[in-house]
């Protein structure tokens, strides 16, 4: 069947091309007649689809070689050696056919390719390829380049004007060229306008004249520095804002990326603060103390500092009397005693506060008694045997003492 | 919180510019990688594809656990690798009982998966198994021809897709000018049935035919294999439309150092660096030119002066 089909194709070919058999070993014998060849190419181009830009040819009319498709099944799986051999030969046949057909197609491409106008080059003839006809997808989205003003569909997206540019346009402010170098009156030399060693550098200002508006106790130098820092920060902020606007339109320069530093935790507005070095060190120090020795005998990591002592050291004054340090202890106790014994010692006491406290306490006690009278009738008989026990007694004593103390205070 | 990230060095800046989306794109790079399990056949297939595309492919040889391109969530790390290596084509090999010798060929758009074709590899023959004149061996980076044979490539959806993907994978550099002397390879793909494609790589032998067009003869150099199409996923229409945008004209490149007018004509500026006479290599080594000798001579002279002066003092 397949042979029949091939024979058919031959005939058709012969009919179409008027002379050429594609499987003829010497197709060149005919190609001397140029007009014939051109016709033949045209005919073939109809038969095949050639994309010269990709050097690709497709034969869409070639049917599946159905008898050979068996040969593709993995012949290793077949046990029968005879069958294996058969399939092996079928496979050989298929490959041979493919190569033959392939060379036909390649010849087709070459016909078109070698007939293109070429320029001589020391390495060989150079040919300019026609544009691709098979369209393949791009790798990345179209970037609007600022240098290509060729295609109206791909005009560059204009960068949105910055806030300053808008303001300048409204006010009619235009850029003027400024000199790079200026005369510095402070030092009497010519200096750059911006950058290192510039005119009016903060370092070069030895004296700032006082003004009427100056506040006393304020360092004008520090103030000057702070103002400068503020201006720089503001500029950075507005720069970021302008970049964000540009990113929205998609007109950001390709080397600039706007990256989220840290996303805010859901439910909060601000992003989590980055932990500073000091804070990390503190945490590390705290963790280091979680050993039996409180981190005292631990091996330190390279660069790790000894843990800081957080609490206060308790100091004891010398008890032995003497001069200087020796007398400090006496002075301390004297101070306390004097406060207590002095004529105006009652002034230490806040009488009003004490009275209110006493009143509040008494009311509380009353309430408790009222409650207990209603509810604790059941508890009372249980309490009675306990009363005799020494523990209860001591407790009571304590409580009574407390009460008396409070009363004493309230006096 | 937003932070402006800009490259800190000029080199880093150039690198970033290289990867940035462009009007006229550079050649697509290919990432070749595998899943947790591969077969010998697949290993060979992957390395040979890597060899075929030597100058524009990256081979990952580690096992990748969580890459399953067809499943949702299985493409995450693949997309990350694509971003990291700036590859927009990938070939992923895996071997399982259900799908033995499995090859997933896919493309990405903006580092997101664009389309996928899954093929099984059968009847694989390595490059080494073919014997041919070494003179014929195709050179690295040469522009290949493609021959697609069979009606399947036009009628069957899967094969049509596979054809496009194979073309994209193997076509090499997109060029304007082609040197006809450098034409030396062809990929032949034959649709054997509606799911099976016979793929082989051949060298081209150009024979004299008496005309301008040489006679083409194919010599199989391998690898050759059968692709059995399994699953495939086409891009959705919106994405395809977006990705198919083309630029009709190329941007003009600024011409440097060339100027001219009506009277003078075209004038080119040429930069010639200063001639470094001191560093020039001499044809023979003259003893007098040795540095030690020169220094010794200079020292001697200085000493003589000194001794003379001393003498003068003593007198």
- Flag the least confident range among A69-73, A368-372, B99-103: A69-73
Q: Average pLDDT over chain A, rounded to whole?
A: 73
B297 in a structural domain: no
CA distance B286 to chain A (A): 41
**pLDDT at res. B307:** 54
The answer, yes or no, to whether residue A404 has pLDDT greater than 60, is: no
- Identify the burial level of B53 via C-beta atoms within 10 angstroms of its C-beta, where 0-12 means exposed, 13-18 middle and 19 or more buried: buried
Name the more confident of B312 and A411.
Answer: B312
**pLDDT at res. A31:** 40
CA distance B174 to chain A (A): 8
Which of B109, B122, B217 is closest, CB to CB, to A138? B109
Residue B114 pLDDT grade (very low, low, confident, very high; cuts 50, 70, 90): very high
CA distance A159 to chain B (A): 17
**pLDDT at res. B260:** 84
- Nearest of B103, B51, B66 to residue B222 by alpha carbon: B51
Would you call A93 an interface residue with chain B, using a CB distance cutoff of 8 Å?
no
Interfacial A residues in 223-242 facing B (CB < 8 Å): 239-240
A65 to chain B: closest CA residue: B192
Over the stretch A305-361, which tens digit does the pLDDT of each residue have? 666 676 788 888 887 887 888 888 888 889 988 888 887 777 777 888 889 999 999
- The sign one gets for the Cα dihedral A192, A195, A196, A202 is positive
Q: What is the DSSP string of A124-158?
A: S-EEEPPPPSS----SSPPP--SS--S-GGGPPPP
Would you call A120 an interface residue with chain B, using a CB distance cutoff of 8 Å?
no
Would you call A168 an interface residue with chain B, using a CB distance cutoff of 8 Å?
no
Residue A212 pLDDT grade (very low, low, confident, very high; cuts 50, 70, 90): confident
B244 to chain A: closest CA residue: A137
Considering its fold, how many domains does chain B have in total? 1
**pLDDT at res. A306:** 67
The answer, yes or no, to whether residue A65 has pLDDT greater than 70, is: no
Of all residues in chain B, the percent with pLDDT exceeding 70 is: 95
B2 in a structural domain: no
CATH number for the domain spanning B121: value is 3.40.50.10480
B44 in a structural domain: yes
Q: Mark yes or no for CB contact A63/B177 under 8 Å.
A: no
Element (H, E) at A349: none
The answer, yes or no, to whether residue B170 has pLDDT greater than 50, is: yes
What is the layout of strands, in order, in the sheet containing B185-191? A49-51, A56-59, B145-149, B185-191, B196-207, B215-233, B112-125, B102-109, B89-94, B30-34, B57-63
B191 to chain A: closest CA residue: A64
Residue A14 pLDDT grade (very low, low, confident, very high; cuts 50, 70, 90): very low
B206 in a structural domain: yes
CB-based contact B60:B46 (threshold 8 Å): no
- Mean pLDDT over residues A387-404, rounded? 44
Residue A45 pLDDT grade (very low, low, confident, very high; cuts 50, 70, 90): low
The answer, yes or no, to whether residue B252 has pLDDT greater than 90, is: no
The answer, yes or no, to whether residue B301 has pLDDT greater than 70, is: yes
**pLDDT at res. A396:** 44
Range from A325-334, B65-74, B275-284 that averages highest in pLDDT: B65-74
Determine the structural domain holding residue B150 and report its residue range.
Answer: 27-236
**pLDDT at res. A174:** 92
B188 in a structural domain: yes
- Mean pLDDT over residues A73-100, rounded? 76
Residue A400 pLDDT grade (very low, low, confident, very high; cuts 50, 70, 90): very low
Interacting residues of B239 by C-beta distance below 8 A, sequence separation 6+: B109, B114
Would you call A58 an interface residue with chain B, using a CB distance cutoff of 8 Å?
yes
Within 8 A of B191 by CB-CB distance, chain A residues are 64
**pLDDT at res. A320:** 80
B267 in a structural domain: no
Count other Cβ atoms within 10 Å, centred on residue B198.
28
- Give helix then strand counts, H and E, for chain B: 7, 13
Q: How far apart are CA A253 and CA A246, in angstroms?
A: 9
Within 8 A of B247 by CB-CB distance, chain A residues are 142, 148, 150-151, 154
Over the stretch A137-151, which tens digit does the pLDDT of each residue have? 998 887 654 444 444
Would you call A122 an interface residue with chain B, using a CB distance cutoff of 8 Å?
no
Which of A139, A147, A240 is closest, CB to CB, to B4? A240
Assigned token pair, A309: 């002592």
Interfacial A residues in 265-324 facing B (CB < 8 Å): 271
CB-based contact A110:B213 (threshold 8 Å): yes
Which of B1, B17, B168 is closest, CB to CB, to A255? B17
Residues linked to residue B177 through DSSP beta bridges, in sequence order: A128
Over the stretch A227-272, which tens digit does the pLDDT of each residue have? 999 999 999 899 888 988 888 887 777 777 777 655 556 666 666 6
B312 in a structural domain: no
Which of A102, A136, A143 is closest, CB to CB, to B149? A102
Of all residues in chain A, the percent with pLDDT exceeding 90 is: 13
Which of A32, A101, A140 is closest, CB to CB, to B110? A140
- Flag the least confident range among A371-385, B115-129, B223-237: A371-385
- Flag the least confident range among A24-33, A48-57, A132-141, A256-265: A24-33
- Mean pLDDT over residues B284-309, rounded? 74
**pLDDT at res. A37:** 53
Residue A108 pLDDT grade (very low, low, confident, very high; cuts 50, 70, 90): confident
Residues linked to residue B31 through DSSP beta bridges, in sequence order: B58, B90
**pLDDT at res. B146:** 93
**pLDDT at res. B164:** 94
Q: Measured in Å, how far apart are chain B's first and last C-alpha atoms?
A: 88
CA distance B189 to chain A (A): 8
- Mean pLDDT over residues A207-219, rounded? 86
Q: Are strands A118-119 and B177-179 parallel, antiparallel or unpaired?
A: unpaired
The answer, yes or no, to whether residue B6 has pLDDT greater than 90, is: no
- Flag the least confident range among A83-87, A256-260, B162-166, B272-276: A256-260
**pLDDT at res. B275:** 86
- Mean pLDDT over residues A6-30, rounded? 37
Range from A19-28, A271-280, B234-243 that averages highest in pLDDT: B234-243
Would you call A64 an interface residue with chain B, using a CB distance cutoff of 8 Å?
yes
> How many interface pairs between A and B have CB atoms less than 8 angstroms apart?
270
Q: Tell me, what's the ipTM?
A: 0.75
B288 in a structural domain: no
Backbone dihedral region for residue B110 (phi beyond 0: left; psi -120 to 50: alpha; all else: beta):
left
The answer, yes or no, to whether residue B14 has pLDDT greater than 50, is: yes
- Mean pLDDT over residues B27-46, rounded? 95
Over the stretch B117-160, which tens digit does the pLDDT of each residue have? 999 999 999 999 999 888 889 998 899 999 999 888 988 999 99
Within 8 A of B196 by CB-CB distance, chain A residues are 69, 72
Beta strands in A225-382 (DSSP E): 257-260
The answer, yes or no, to whether residue A104 has pLDDT greater than 50, is: yes
Assigned token pair, A20: 């050429």
In the three-class reduction of DSSP (H, G, I as helix; E, B as strand; rest coil), residue B232 is classed as strand
CB-based contact A282:A275 (threshold 8 Å): no
The answer, yes or no, to whether residue B182 has pLDDT greater than 60, is: yes
Q: How far apart are CA A166 and CA A157, in angstroms?
A: 18
Q: Mark yes or no for CB contact B220/A135 under 8 Å.
A: no
- Flag the least confident range among A186-195, A231-240, A252-261, B29-38: A252-261
The answer, yes or no, to whether residue A210 has pLDDT greater than 80, is: yes
B215 to chain A: closest CA residue: A107
- Flag the least confident range among A161-165, A314-318, B107-111, B181-185: A314-318
Residue A97 pLDDT grade (very low, low, confident, very high; cuts 50, 70, 90): confident
Q: Mark yes or no for CB contact B6/A255 under 8 Å.
A: yes
Residues linked to residue A128 through DSSP beta bridges, in sequence order: B177
């Amino acid at each position: 069947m397949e042979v029949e089909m091939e024979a058919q194709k031959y005939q058709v070919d012969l009919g179409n091309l008027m002379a050429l058999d594609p499987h003829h070993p010497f197709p060149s014998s005919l190609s001397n007649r140029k007009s014939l060849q051109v016709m033949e190419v045209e005919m073939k181009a109809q038969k095949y689809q050639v994309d010269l830009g990709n050097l690709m040819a497709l034969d869409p009319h070639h049917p599946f070689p159905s008898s050979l498709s068996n040969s593709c099944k993995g012949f290793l799986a077949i046990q029968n050696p005879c069958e294996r051999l058969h399939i092996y030969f079928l496979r050989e046949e298929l490959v041979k056919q493919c190569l033959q057909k392939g060379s036909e197609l390649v010849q087709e491409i070459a016909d078109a390719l070698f007939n293109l106008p070429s320029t001589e080059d020391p390495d060989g003839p150079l040919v300019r390829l026609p544009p691709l006809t098979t369209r393949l997808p791009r790798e990345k989205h179209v970037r609007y380049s600022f240098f290509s003003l060729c295609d109206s569909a791909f005009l560059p997206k204009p960068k949105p004007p910055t806030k300053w540019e808008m303001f300048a346009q409204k006010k009619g402010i235009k850029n003027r060229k400024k000199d790079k170098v200026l005369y510095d009156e402070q030092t009497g030399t010519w200096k750059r306008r911006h950058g290192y060693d510039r005119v009016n550098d903060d370092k070069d200002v030895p004296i700032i004249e006082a003004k009427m508006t100056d506040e006393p106790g304020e360092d004008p130098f520090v103030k000057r520095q702070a103002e400068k820092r503020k201006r720089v920060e503001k500029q950075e902020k507005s720069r970021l804002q302008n970049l964000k606007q540009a990113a929205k339109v998609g007109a950001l320069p390709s080397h600039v990326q706007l990256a989220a530093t840290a996303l805010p935790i859901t439910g909060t507005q601000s992003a989590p603060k980055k932990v500073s070095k000091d804070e990390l060190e503190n945490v590390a120090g705290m963790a280091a103390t979680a050993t039996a020795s409180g981190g005292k005998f631990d091996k330190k990591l390279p660069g790790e500092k000894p843990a800081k002592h957080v609490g206060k050291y308790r100091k004891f004054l010398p008890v032995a009397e003497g001069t200087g340090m020796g007398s400090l202890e006496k002075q301390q106790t004297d101070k306390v005693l004097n406060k207590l014994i002095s004529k105006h010692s009652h002034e230490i006491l806040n009488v009003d506060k004490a009275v209110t406290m006493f009143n509040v306490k008494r009311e509380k006690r009353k309430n408790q008694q009222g409650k207990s009278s209603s509810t604790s009738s059941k508890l009372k008989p249980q309490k009675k045997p306990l009363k005799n026990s020494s523990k209860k007694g001591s407790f009571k004593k304590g409580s009574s003492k407390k009460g008396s103390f409070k009363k004493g205070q309230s006096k | 919180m937003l932070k402006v990230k800009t490259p800190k060095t000029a080199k880093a800046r150039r690198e970033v510019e290289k990867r940035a989306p462009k009007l006229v794109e550079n050649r697509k790079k290919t990432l070749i990688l595998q899943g947790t399990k591969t077969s010998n056949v697949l290993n060979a297939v992957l390395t040979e594809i890597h060899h075929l595309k030597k100058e524009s492919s990256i081979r990952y040889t580690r096992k990748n656990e969580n890459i399953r391109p067809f499943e949702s969530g299985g493409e995450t790390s693949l997309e990350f690798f694509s971003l990291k290596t700036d590859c927009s084509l990938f070939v992923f090999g895996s071997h399982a009982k259900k799908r033995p010798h499995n090859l997933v060929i896919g493309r990405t758009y903006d580092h997101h998966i664009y389309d996928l074709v899954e093929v099984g590899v059968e009847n694989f023959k390595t490059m080494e198994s073919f014997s041919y004149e070494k003179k014929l061996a195709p050179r690295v980076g040469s522009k290949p021809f493609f021959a697609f044979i069979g009606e399947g490539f036009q009628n069957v959806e899967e094969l049509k897709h596979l054809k496009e993907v194979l073309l994209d994978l193997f076509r090499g550099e997109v060029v304007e000018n082609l040197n006809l002397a450098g034409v030396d390879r062809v990929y032949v793909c034959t649709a054997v049935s509606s799911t099976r494609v016979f793929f082989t790589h051949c060298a081209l032998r150009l024979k004299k035919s008496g005309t301008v067009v040489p006679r083409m003869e194919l010599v199989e150099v391998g690898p050759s294999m059968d692709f059995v199409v399994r699953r495939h996923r086409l891009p959705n229409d919106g994405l395809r439309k977006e990705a198919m945008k083309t630029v009709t004209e190329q941007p003009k490149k600024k011409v440097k150092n060339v100027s001219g007018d009506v009277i003078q004509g075209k004038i080119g500026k040429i930069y010639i660096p200063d001639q470094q006479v001191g560093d020039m290599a001499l044809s023979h080594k003259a003893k007098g030119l040795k540095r030690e000798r020169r220094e010794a001579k200079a020292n001697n002279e200085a000493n003589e002066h000194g001794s003379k002066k001393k003498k003068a003092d003593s007198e």
